[in-house]
């Protein structure tokens, strides 16, 4: 499992200085079922906007 997960979306509540993701888990989904052909076909469901 990856130790460091980088994220540039700094309006997410899990974002930390240095573009680090502080979430306990990362959940990524595909728009095309179980297989994605490129990054545009995926989304990070872990994203939670800061209030």
Q: Read off the pLDDT of residues 5-47 as tens digits, 9 standing for 90 and up.
A: 999 999 999 999 999 999 999 999 999 999 999 999 999 999 9
- From the number of C-beta atoms within 10 Å of its C-beta (0-12, 13-18, 19+), residue 5 rates as middle
Separation of alpha carbons 30 and 21, rounded Å: 20
- What's this model's pTM, rounded to 2 decimal places? 0.80
Q: pLDDT (tens digit, 9 = 90+) per residue, 19-29?
A: 999 999 999 99
Quick one: DSSP state of residue 51? -
**Contact yes or no for 12/45 (Cβ under 8 A):** no
Q: Which two tokens stand for residue 30?
A: 């595909």
**Contact yes or no for 19/7 (Cβ under 8 A):** yes
pLDDT at position 51 is: 78
């Amino acid at each position: 499992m990856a130790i460091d997960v980088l994220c540039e979306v700094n309006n997410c509540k899990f974002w930390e200085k240095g573009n680090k993701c502080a979430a306990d888990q990362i959940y990524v989904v595909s728009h095309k079922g179980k297989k994605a052909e490129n990054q545009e076909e995926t989304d990070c469901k872990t994203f939670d906007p800061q209030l």
